[in-house]
Amino acid sequence: MSESLRNLSTIEYGASPKEIRSQDYTPISIYGTGGLVGFSNKVLFYGPLVVVARKGTLDNPLYVAENCWVIDTAYAVLPKQDVDAKWLYYNLLNYDLKSLNESTGVPSISRDYLYRVKFIKFTLPEQRRIAHILSTVDEVIEKTEVTIAKYKAIKAGMMHDLFTRGIDVATGKLRPTYEEAPGLYWKSELGWVPREWEVNSINHFNIQIVDGDRGTNYPHENELFEHGYCLFLNASNVTKDGFAFSNNMYITENKEKLLGSGKLERNDVIITTRGTVGNIAIYSDDIKYEHMRINSGMLILRNREQGMISDFLFQSFRNYLFDIDFKRVVSGSAQPQLPMKDLKGFRLIKPNEVEQTKIVNICKRHDNLIKTEIEALEKLKYLKHGLMSDLLTGKVPVKYEENIVEVVS
């Protein structure tokens, strides 16, 4: 039986934290639409409860277990006596709250509209069982996210060492630091680097920079399809972690043949140059798509330099040496862009091929660890989405026996 949010909860307006905000930590947290925003000297609401945006980002409800303060751009949804707060939170998370937007300007939800939302109500024990199952999945998701963050931090430190000290080919280990063995290094534009390394601009090395076709044949929105012959890359396809293929758009074979530059060749490195700038991917042999093109917000780095490994070029654009030039070009810009003329001036290091290979192999091992965890995270999120849909609608019932909660198959 469906019940409106009016029957399941009391919805209260938040209040400005101006007078009660503490400069130091207190046990009373202040929550806004995006999460924790500070600490309070007073309690406004007693937990557990759910924070729902009144204005701004509407689709991000927050479960709060403790007493708290909620700011004036959000609501506190207080469950009634026979309603479990965590179960109510998952219902609100599963609901398209953006559909309640009543404003043409800043997105907003009226309390009256929110009160009209209906959910299928279960008994309190059933609510708690459902909340327990979904919370268990959330815990695994959180642990996986922590693992990913840890692996990325380890890799960042490792990349710094690899691209400043490199690998001593004779020992297979990192060279001593400059402080330990200054005679091994020379002062380049990028700082102290091993004497064996060459440092120069992209323009100096034989690396072709290829723009996409921006002419009259550039695909319009009605020429992009969910399936097709050639993957036409969009901003979501090129991330900080390489390619992502969850939001693909395609063009037909006829359309692809009309276009000029911008078609990818194997081992091309792709960099985003407008909007979200500086994301990097490589079109390696393990990418299953045979036909791919960049859009107008990307550039291709096509390696023709003798003695430069394409995978090393790719990894070179993922370390702090790249950030030196990147921040110089795009920092402070209201709409970040990376023009081709500026990219040509970016500086690269070039060890010998044996050392490049060793550096690439170490980077790939760490990349694979991160990739495995990211794939696991995506599967968990997909599982959670399916479970919320099944459990909160009663499509899949749950049972409870001797403190064991399980889904009935």
Mean pLDDT by 10-residue block, N- to C-terminus, for the chain (409 residues)? 94 95 94 94 96 91 97 96 97 94 85 95 95 96 96 93 94 95 95 95 94 93 95 93 91 95 96 90 95 95 95 89 77 76 92 96 94 94 95 83 44
Q: Are 273 and 330 in contact (CB under 8 A)?
A: no
- For residue 391, count CB atoms less than 10 angstroms from its CB and return exposed for 0-12, middle for 13-18, buried for 19 or more: buried
pLDDT at 331: 63
Superfamily of structural domain 149-371? DNA methylase specificity domains (3.90.220.20)
Tokens of 14: 């938040």
pLDDT at 400: 53
CA–CA gap between residue 94 and residue 88 (Å, rounded): 10
Catalogue the E-assigned strands of 195-282: 198-201, 207-211, 230-232, 238-239, 242-243, 250-251, 269-272, 280-282
- For residue 220, count CB atoms less than 10 angstroms from its CB and return exposed for 0-12, middle for 13-18, buried for 19 or more: exposed
Which of 328, 284, 363, 316 has its CA nearest to residue 202?
Answer: 316
Neighbours of 240 (CB within 10 A): 13
The CA distances from residue 74 to 13, 62, 97, 186, 285, in Å, are 7, 10, 13, 57, 49
Name beta bridge partners: 78: 10
> CB-hemisphere CA count at 13 Å for 221?
0
pLDDT at 404: 41
Residues 6+ apart with CB under 8 A from 86: 48, 63, 128, 131, 134, 135
Hey, do 2-121 and 149-371 end up sharing a CATH topology, with the first three levels equal?
yes
The model's pLDDT over 35-77, given as tens digits with 9 standing for 90+, comes to 999 999 999 999 999 999 999 888 899 999 999 999 999 999 9
User: What is the SS3 assignment for 385?
Assistant: helix
pLDDT at 332: 60
pLDDT at 319: 80
Which of 29, 78, 25, 34 has its CA nearest to residue 53?
Answer: 34
Q: Are 78 and 49 in contact (CB under 8 A)?
A: yes
Which of 242, 211, 247 has its CA nearest to residue 232?
Answer: 247
Which of 241, 267, 227, 262 has its CA nearest to residue 367?
Answer: 241
Tell me: domain 2-121, CATH 3.90.220.20, correct?
yes
pTM for this structure? 0.81
pLDDT at 333: 64
Neighbours of 51 (CB within 10 A): 26
- Our measurement of the distance from residue 184's CA atom to the centroid of its chain's CA atoms, rounded to an integer in Å, reads 39
Where along the chain do its domains lie?
A: 2-121, 149-371
Radius of gyration of the chain (CA): 27
Q: Are 330 and 302 in contact (CB under 8 A)?
A: no
pLDDT at 222: 95
